[in-house]
Amino acid sequence: MSKDIDWGSLGFGYIQTDKRFVANYKDGAWDAGTLTGDATVTMSECACVLQYAQTCFEGLKAYRTEDGRVVCFRPDLNAARMADSCRRLEMPVFPEERFVQAVHEVVAANLDFVPPYGSGATLYLRPFMFGSNAVIGVKPATEFQFRIFCTPVGPYFKGGAKPITIRVSDFDRAAPHGTGHIKAGLNYAMSLHAIMDAHRQGFAENMYLDPATRSKVEETGGANFIFITKDGKLVTPKSNSILPSITRRSLMVVAERYLGMPVEHREVLLSELGDFAECGLCGTAAVISPVGKVVDHGREICFPSGMEQMGSYTQKLYDTLTGIQMGRIPAPEGWLHTIA
Ligand SMILES: *Cc1c(COP(=O)(O)O)cnc(C)c1O
């Protein structure tokens, strides 16, 4: 490892690495794309992304497995999801096979930044696209840039995953028939006030409800929910305005195929939260963050798993998925993309 990085003390922040991938779309076509050492972007002050937020992104990780390979986890699903995001935002799709190839090239060009196995740190990859030409009337850009940079990040939870307390939010995340199901920057811009407000009130996250009836659980600003019933079933909320988390979809497979747990993907009512034994948030960054308590306007819903550790089913899900990712447990066909 030639990079002089203290892997154990890395936080979740941006560190500039050697190379990133850049491709440009102009006159109706993507160029060949290239790796570059230039970590900056220069564009018109009137670029569509700056005026009308025409941008979407993805997030995935590369890391070293127990047997010393460097791999990515299911990058084909990130490619497909970004294609969905682009179509909804009137942006040109970057072809899915080329997306996976670009992920491969970026990791291969920054191998020294892939943290060692067992450090808890990983190389986080951020593919993103934005409308780059000047647009003043409200319409889509005609020129776009697709980039993938990477940055080494520390374990999301230093010193283990303690259960968190979250609140039921009075803010809404995604309108019915809106953009909640795509990974658009605009969904995050409007969540920033809600998350800062939650933090000021002493909560780690917001639980967003469906805006139409405010009776059903959707997700948090950047993670899907999983619930465990008292008899060991995995339940995950279903809604057209939830972002389809790759971690959540993978956990559903892990529960069913590896742990023999029944899985239900269905609407989850706020009023039934008290019936669950365990609750967690899932996403690429933390894999699973256990939730110990949900506060709904003063009413506390405390899960039996408590505030000291993950519930036992959540722990099994976490251990199995991270075991698959790290090569300790055989992965389903196609889940690990080997880079080196
Ligand atoms: C990215 C994201 C997630 C998590 O998705 P993963 O593919 O598991 O990383 C969940 N919710 C929202 C709103 C997201 O943007």
Tell me whether strands 263-266 and 234-237 are parallel, antiparallel or unpaired: parallel
- For 81, residues 6+ apart whose C-beta sits below 8 A from its C-beta are 58, 182, 183, 244, 246
Kindly report the protein residue whose alpha carbon is nearest to atom 13 of ligand 1: 222
Regarding whether 181 and 34 lie in a shared domain, the answer is no
Q: Is residue 337 part of a domain?
A: no
Give the pLDDT mean for 142-167.
91
* Cα dihedral across residues 198, 204, 247, 18: positive or negative: positive
Q: Which residues line ligand 1 (CB under 6 A)?
A: 59, 183, 219, 222-224, 243, 245-248, 283-284
Q: How confident is the model at residue 3 (pLDDT cuts 50, 70, 90)?
A: confident
Regarding whether 182 and 250 lie in a shared domain, the answer is yes
Q: What is the 3-state secondary structure (H, E, C) of 283-338?
A: ECCCEEEEEEEEEECCEEEECCCCCCCCCHHHHHHHHHHHHHHCCCCCCCCCCEEE
Q: What is the pLDDT of residue 2?
A: 52
Q: Does residue 181 contact residue 242 with C-beta atoms inside 8 Å? A: yes
Regarding whether 206 and 142 lie in a shared domain, the answer is no
Q: How confident is the model at residue 199 (pLDDT cuts 50, 70, 90)?
A: very high
Residue 134 has pLDDT above 70, yes or no: yes
Q: What is the CA radius of gyration of the chain?
A: 20
The last residue of one of the domains, among 153, 173, 198, is 153
Q: What is the pLDDT of residue 159?
A: 66
* Percent over 90 (pLDDT), the chain: 94
- Structure tokens given for 43: 């564009």
CA angle 306, 219, 284 (to 5 degrees): 85
The pTM (predicted TM-score) of the whole model is 0.97
Q: Is residue 187 part of a domain?
A: yes
The range of the structural domain enclosing residue 46 comes to 7-153
| Tens of pLDDT, residues 81-97 | 999 999 999 999 999 99
Kindly report the protein residue whose alpha carbon is nearest to atom 1 of ligand 1: 222
Q: How far apart are CA 111 and CA 93, in angstroms?
A: 27
Q: How far apart are CA 286 and CA 97, in angstroms?
A: 27
Residue 127: how many CB atoms within 10 A of its CB? 25
CATH number for position 311: 3.20.10.10
Kindly report the protein residue whose alpha carbon is nearest to atom 14 of ligand 1: 222
Q: How confident is the model at residue 172 (pLDDT cuts 50, 70, 90)?
A: very high
Q: How far apart are CA 35 and CA 71, in angstroms?
A: 19
| Tens of pLDDT, residues 40-67 | 999 999 999 999 999 999 999 999 999 9
Give the pLDDT mean for 191-213.
97
Residue 268 has pLDDT above 90, yes or no: yes
Q: What is the pLDDT of residue 161?
A: 84
Ligand 1 centroid – CA 284 distance (Å): 7
Question: Average model confidence (pLDDT) for the chain?
Answer: 96
Pocket test for ligand 1, best of 85, 206, 284, 288 (most atoms within 8 A of CB): 284
Q: What is the pLDDT of residue 37?
A: 98
| Tens of pLDDT, residues 279-336 | 999 999 999 999 999 999 999 999 999 999 999 999 999 999 999 999 999 999 999 9
Q: How many domains does the chain fold into?
A: 2
Q: Is residue 338 part of a domain?
A: no
Regarding whether 187 and 123 lie in a shared domain, the answer is no
Regarding whether 197 and 124 lie in a shared domain, the answer is no
* Percent over 70 (pLDDT), the chain: 99
Regarding whether 61 and 36 lie in a shared domain, the answer is yes
Q: Does residue 313 contact residue 260 with C-beta atoms inside 8 Å? A: no
Ligand 1 centroid – CA 239 distance (Å): 14
Regarding whether 314 and 180 lie in a shared domain, the answer is yes
